[in-house]
Amino acid sequence: MTVKVTRKKKQRKPTVKALKAKIDKTFSDYIRQRGMDEKGMATCVCCGTQYPWQRIQCGHYCRRVHLATRWSEVNCFPVCYACNVLRRGNYASMAVFMYDRFSKKQMTQLVALSQQKVKLTVPYLLGVLERVRKLSVQSIANGPLKK
């Protein structure tokens, strides 16, 4: 005779580290899918090369270290590995793209926002995750990125 032992699963509280990783993944998927065409191809905003969205990266204008704009859909666009890593963000080309798309006022606001200090807490990150999850749903309905 075997005795079935059922263990109560521990309800783990989310940690800042785990939430940050979850948001990074969810947000990156959104950014890379936002600009893709009907075949799933995304275009690098720096060099114009096309890749399947899974092979492109989420490029940041204001760098990821700035937490206030790390998950901003205005600050992030699809960027290829060559531009994002090998060319260290291909910053000049991304600046051309950004200033073509946004007004000087919008760019000033974005940069100012990036300079704000953000303390990552579990409640704050849960709020970000909720917002980012909604963006992901919209990306499919919105189709290719329009200027």
- Positions touching Zn ion (CB under 5 A) are 44, 46-47, 80, 83
Q: How far is the CB of 107 from Zn ion (least distance, A)?
A: 21
Q: How far apart are CA 93 and CA 129, in angstroms?
A: 30
**C-alpha dist (Å) from residue 72 to 2, 66, 147:** 55, 11, 17
CA distance 109 to 104: 9
Q: How far is the CB of 70 from Zn ion (least distance, A)?
A: 21
CA distance 29 to 76: 11
Environment class of residue 92 by beta-carbon count within 10 Å: exposed (0-12), middle (13-18) or buried (19+)?
A: exposed
Of 23 and 83, the one with the shorter C-beta distance to Zn ion is 83
Q: Which is nearer to Zn ion, 47 or 111 (CB)?
A: 47
Q: Which is nearer to Zn ion, 58 or 129 (CB)?
A: 58
Closer by beta carbon to Zn ion, 64 or else 87: 87
